[in-house]
Structure 1
Amino acid sequence: MLKVVFLHPDLGIGGAERLVVDAALALQSKGHQVHIVTSYHDPGHCFPETKDGTIPITVSGTWLPRSVFGRFLALCAYLRMLWASLYTVFLSGLQPHVYFCDQVSMCVPVLRLFTSIPVLFYCHFPDLLLASHRTWIQKLYRAPLDWMEEKATGMATTTVVNSHFTAGVFRDTFKSIRRRPGVLYPSLNFQSFDRESRGDLSSVIGTQKIVDFVYLSINRYERKKNLGLAIKAFGLLKSSLGDAKIHLIMVGGYDDRLLENVEHYEELQKLTGSLHLGDSITFLRSPSDESKACLLKNCHTLVYTPDSEHFGIVPLEAMYCQLPVIAVNSGGPLETVEDHQTGYLCHPTVEDFAQKMKYLYENRHLATEMGKRGRQRVIQHFSFSSFTEQLNELVGGLAVSRP
C-alpha cells in the first residue's frame, strides 16, 4: 500500500478536477491511501466524492487572493500553489510515497528541493499557450511566469499528458525539456452513468413544450470554448427546418467568482435574444452530476464546439450514453470521436455544424447507430479499469525508484 498526496489549485467542477478525483478513486481501488491538498474547495461547487468523505481533503491558502481586481490570475494561482506545496511539506504532517500534481507546476520545485519523494506531474495543457500575450504589458507580465512554468515542469520526476495531441504541443512548447511525456488518457467511471436517473427533460425545457429532438452542449462558460458556435448553428438549423420541434440545452460550469464566467454567460444570453431563440434554448449553470447524467441519457446529439481542445472528457461521456458527437476536427476529439462512425468532426463554422446537426435530425436511425458504436468505443479504449491499471503502474514505479 502506498500513500499518494495530490496537489491541485482549485478543487471545483471541471475536466481537470474530474481527472484528479478519478485518479484518487483509481488509486484507492488498488488499496492505496490518497489525500488531496488544495487552496480552495467549496462544498457547494464540487464533485460529491470530495465532500462526502470518500476522498480526504485539506484546504490551505484560502486567505491568498484569486486575483487582484480581476487581474493577475496566473500570478495568484502560482502563489497559492507555492503556499500549498510549502504547507504540504512543512506543516501538513503528510508523508507520502508519491506526489501527484497537475495544472500549476509551481509546486514541483518545492517538492523536489525539500523532499526526496518522486513527483508525477499531469500536464493538461501548457498554461502559457492559454494566456494572452497580445500587448507588451501582457508579454512583460507573462515572461517570468512562462519561464517558471517550463523550468518547474521539467523538474518533475515523471510527466504525463492527456492525449497525443497535447504530447506534441508539450514537446513544441517546452523545448528545454528533453524527456518526452507519457500519455495517460482520462477515463470514465462507468458506474456514475449506469445508475438509474430520475426525472426527464420536461423539467428542464418546460412541461408545456412539445420537443422531439434535443441537442446538448456541455462546457464551461468561457470564451475559448466557442459556445456561440453552437447557438448560431442551432439558429441556422432552426431557420432551415421551419416548424421543427427542436431544442438546444446549453450546460456550463459556472463560478460567480470568475468574471469571465459571469460576462460570457450574459453574452450568450444576449446572442440568443438577438437570434430570437429564447423559447428554443435553455441555459443551465453547474448542474449536479445526476442532472448532467439525466441530460446525457435523454438528449439526442452532443454539440461540442471548442477548437484545439487538448482532450475533452464530455465527448466520452456522451458516447458512453449513446449520443453521437458533433465536434471540431482538431485536438483531442481527433483521438476520441471516430468521424462518420461515432459522430462527425467538422470545420469550426456555423454552416458545417448546422449541416451535420440537420443530417442527424433527418436520419435518426443513423444517430442511434452512431450512439451504439460510440458506447462500444469508450468501453474498449477509455475504461476506468484501463486508466486505473496504467496509473497504478506509474505510481508503483515511482515509489520503487525513490532513493
Structure 2
Amino acid sequence: MGLQRSNVTIIHPDLGIGGAERLIIDVALALQNRGHRVTIYTSHRDKTHCFDEARNGTLDVRVRGNTIFPAHICGRLHILMAALRQLHLTVSLLAELAASRTEKASADEDRDDIFIVDQLPACVPFLKSFGRARESRRQRILFYCHFPDQLLARRDEGGSLLRLAKVLYRFPFDWFEGWAMSASDRVVANSKFSRGIVRDVFGSDRLGDVEVVYPCVDMDGNSLPEKADEDPLWGGKKILLSINRFERKKDMALAIRAYNGLGAEKRQGTRLVIAGGYDNRIQENVQYHQELDKLATGLGLKTATSKTVVSAISIPDSIDILFLLSVPTAFKDTLLAQSKLLLYTPINEHFGIVPVEAMRVGLPVLASNTGGPLETIVEGETGWLRDAHADDEWTAVMDKALYGLSQKDVERMAAAGKVRAQQEFSLTAMGDRLEEEISTMLTAERRPFTGWQQVSAILALLGAVLALIAAIVLRAI
C-alpha cells in the first residue's frame, strides 16, 4: 500500500534553469504523478527563462515574496536579500493557508501537509512555529540540502578590511543556516558526497539521520530523444558537448584546453559545444562567457555564440567552438542524442544531473574524479573519471571517444548507461525515495522546537543587520 496522498508545498528561491531547479521540478513531478497535490512557491520565475513544466501549467507555480526586497543590492548582499525574500514569501504562504482553514474542509482537504524546502532554510523555523495544521492533519517539514550555503560563499576577495567585513557579515548567516535546518523534521542530501559535507559542517546530532535522495531524469520512452541518422546537426560533425551554468566554478575552460590539445588534424570534422544556463542579470555569467571566448580565440580556435536554436544551427562550418546560452530543453536533448562524449568539468560537484541525463540517452561521460560523478559514473562502463588538473588525460579520452571506440564498444557503453540511469536515477526511483522519507516523518514524532528559538531567530537577523552596517563602515574607510 502506497503513502496516503498529501498536500505538498515546495519552497524554492528562484525557478530559473539549472541543476537545482531541474531537481525541484522533478521532485514536484514525482510526487504529483503519485496523486499528491503539489504547489511550488518561489520568489522569482521568468517565463522566458525556466523549465517548460514551470510555465506550461503542468505544475502549480505561485510567485510570492518578490515585491519588497530585491534579489541583491548593487551586486552584493545576496544571502541577506534571499533570506528576506523567502521570509516575505513565507508570510504570504502562511496567510493563504490561514485563509484556506476558514473554509469548510472536505475529505480531500484533510490530507497531511508536507513542506519541502531546498537551498535556503530561512523559512523553516517560521513554518514550524506558525504553520499549524488542522487537528485532522499531520504536518512535517523536509529540508533537501544541496550543499551548505556557508561553503559556497566567497570570503577571499578584496583586501583585508573587506575580508573582515565579509566574515562579520556572514557570521550570523552561517550560524542561522544550521539552526534553521535543525528545525526541519527531516534532512536529506542529494548525494553521499553532500551528506558527508553536511554532517561535517552541522553535525549528525543536530540534524538527525541525513539520508540521500538522488536527483533524477525522466526515463519515459516518449520523452527520450533518438539518435538521428537523417538530418544530423552541422552535417554530421562529431560533437563534444559540455553543459553547465556559465560560472567559474564549473571550469568549462578545461574543456576548451583539452579540446585544443587534440591538434588541428584531429579537430577536423569535430565541434566543441559549450551550452548551459546563462542569465543576463548575473554578472558572473556574462563575464565568464567573455573569459571563455577570449581563452578559445587566444588558442587560435574559431568561436561563435548563439542565443537561439535557429542561429546555432546556421553557424559556419569553420567554427570550432560554439557557445549556446540558455539552450532550450528540446535542443539540449538533441545535442545529447547526437554527441560523441559529454564533458563534465566541475570539481567536487555536489551531485551533477547532466551526466545522468547523458547516460539516459546512452552518451558516455568524461567527468572529474571527485564529488557526485563518483556515484553516478562507472569507470569504463558508462564513462571515464579523470583528474581535472590533467588536461592531457582529458584530451586522451576525447581522442578515444572520437576515434578509438569500435561500434561494439559504443553500443555496450550506451546500453550500460541507460540501465544505470533507469535503475538508480529515474523519476520512479526518486518518487519511491521521497515517499519513504515522507512516510518516516509522518510515523515519527515531530522534531522538538521550542519558543526560545524564535527569540534566537530575531537575534540572528539583528546580528545580520549589525554585520551589514559594519561591512558598510569598513568599506567606507
Please tell me the TM-score bracket, short chain as reference: over 0.9
Does the alignment pair 1:89 with 2:94?
Answer: yes
| Residue of structure 1 in register with 2:356 after alignment | 316
The worse-fitting range, judged by mean Cα deviation, of 361-370 and 224-233 is 361-370
Partners of 1:217 and 1:250 within 8 A in 2: yes
Q: Which amino acid aligns with 2:155?
A: H
Count of residue pairs the alignment pairs up: 398
Distance (whole Å) between structure 1 residues aligned to residue 242 and residue 8 of structure 2: 35
Distance (whole Å) between structure 2 residues aligned to residue 38 and residue 276 of structure 1: 44
Distance (whole Å) between structure 2 residues aligned to residue 159 and residue 153 of structure 1: 8
C-alpha spacing 1:192/1:369, structure 2 compared with 1 (3 Å): closer
Q: Deviations over 1:41-71 (max 9, x none)?
A: 1111111111111111111122221111111
Partners of 1:8 and 1:37 within 8 A in 2: yes
For structure 2, which runs of at least 5 residues remain unmatched after alignment? 102-111, 133-138, 157-162, 303-318, 447-477
The match for 2:429 among 386, 392, 395 is 386
Distance (whole Å) between structure 2 residues aligned to residue 384 and residue 71 of structure 1: 37
Q: Deviations over 1:193-245 (max 9, x none)?
A: 734569899786x55xx62x210000000010011111111111234x45632
Q: Deviations over 1:72-110 (max 9, x none)?
A: 111111111111122211245467611010000101111
Does the alignment pair 1:100 with 2:140?
Answer: no
The match for 1:335 among 375, 391, 413 is 375
| Residue of structure 2 in register with 1:168 after alignment | 196
Distance (whole Å) between structure 1 residues aligned to residue 357 and residue 54 of structure 2: 20
Does the alignment pair 1:257 with 2:281?
Answer: yes
The match for 2:65 among 61, 65, 71 is 61
C-alpha spacing 1:242/1:314, structure 2 compared with 1 (3 Å): closer
Partners of 1:30 and 1:392 within 8 A in 2: no
Partners of 2:141 and 2:185 within 8 A in 1: yes
Q: Deviations over 1:27-46 (max 9, x none)?
A: 11111101011100111111
> 1:353 Cα deviation (Å)?
0.9
Distance (whole Å) between structure 2 residues aligned to residue 192 and residue 131 of structure 1: 40
The match for 2:399 among 358, 363, 367 is 358
For structure 1, which runs of at least 5 residues remain unmatched after alignment? none
Distance (whole Å) between structure 2 residues aligned to residue 334 and residue 358 of structure 1: 22
TM-score between the two structures when normalised by the length of structure 1: 0.93
| Residue of structure 2 in register with 1:115 after alignment | 131
> 1:375 Cα deviation (Å)?
1.3
Partners of 1:193 and 1:321 within 8 A in 2: no
The match for 1:179 among 205, 208, 217 is 208
Q: Deviations over 1:345-398 (max 9, x none)?
A: 000121111111112222232344322211111112212111111212322443
Distance (whole Å) between structure 1 residues aligned to residue 253 and residue 359 of structure 2: 23
C-alpha spacing 1:334/1:198, structure 2 compared with 1 (3 Å): closer
Q: Which amino acid aligns with 2:182?
A: G
Distance (whole Å) between structure 2 residues aligned to residue 193 and residue 350 of structure 1: 38
Aligned alpha-carbon RMSD (Å): 2.1
> 1:322 Cα deviation (Å)?
0.8
Q: Which amino acid aligns with 2:87?
A: L
Give the match's secondary structure for 1:231.
helix
Does the alignment pair 1:44 with 2:48?
Answer: yes
Partners of 2:253 and 2:292 within 8 A in 1: yes
| Residue of structure 2 in register with 1:304 after alignment | 344
> 1:294 Cα deviation (Å)?
0.6
C-alpha spacing 1:305/1:137, structure 2 compared with 1 (3 Å): same
Bigger Rg, which one: 2
Q: Which amino acid aligns with 1:136?
A: L
The worse-fitting range, judged by mean Cα deviation, of 287-296 and 375-384 is 375-384
> 1:177 Cα deviation (Å)?
2.0
Does the alignment pair 1:191 with 2:231?
Answer: no
Partners of 2:225 and 2:337 within 8 A in 1: no
Partners of 1:98 and 1:398 within 8 A in 2: no
Distance (whole Å) between structure 2 residues aligned to residue 352 and residue 38 of structure 1: 42
C-alpha spacing 1:246/1:69, structure 2 compared with 1 (3 Å): same
- Give the alignment of 1:128-277 within 5 angstroms: 128-134=150-156, 135-175=163-203, 177-191=206-220, 194-195=223-224, 206=234, 211=237, 213-239=238-264, 241-242=265-266, 244-277=268-301
Distance (whole Å) between structure 2 residues aligned to residue 350 and residue 198 of structure 1: 29
The match for 1:11 among 6, 15, 32 is 15
Distance (whole Å) between structure 1 residues aligned to residue 76 and residue 143 of structure 2: 26
Give the match's secondary structure for 2:375.
helix
Q: Which amino acid aligns with 1:169?
A: I
> 1:399 Cα deviation (Å)?
3.9
Distance (whole Å) between structure 2 residues aligned to residue 330 and residue 193 of structure 1: 33
Partners of 2:182 and 2:206 within 8 A in 1: yes
| Residue of structure 1 in register with 2:466 after alignment | none
Distance (whole Å) between structure 2 residues aligned to residue 62 and residue 2 of structure 1: 27
Give the match's secondary structure for 2:342.
strand
Give the match's secondary structure for 2:115.
strand
Q: Which amino acid aligns with 2:77?
A: F
Q: Which amino acid aligns with 1:65?
A: P
Q: Which amino acid aligns with 2:429?
A: S
The match for 1:78 among 80, 83, 91 is 83
Distance (whole Å) between structure 2 residues aligned to residue 362 and residue 291 of structure 1: 25
Partners of 1:252 and 1:286 within 8 A in 2: yes
Partners of 1:11 and 1:17 within 8 A in 2: yes
Q: Which amino acid aligns with 1:222?
A: E
C-alpha spacing 1:193/1:304, structure 2 compared with 1 (3 Å): farther
Distance (whole Å) between structure 2 residues aligned to residue 145 and residue 192 of structure 1: 44
> 1:401 Cα deviation (Å)?
4.6
Distance (whole Å) between structure 2 residues aligned to residue 72 and residue 201 of structure 1: 51
> 1:192 Cα deviation (Å)?
7.6
Distance (whole Å) between structure 2 residues aligned to residue 338 and residue 183 of structure 1: 19
Partners of 1:238 and 1:246 within 8 A in 2: no
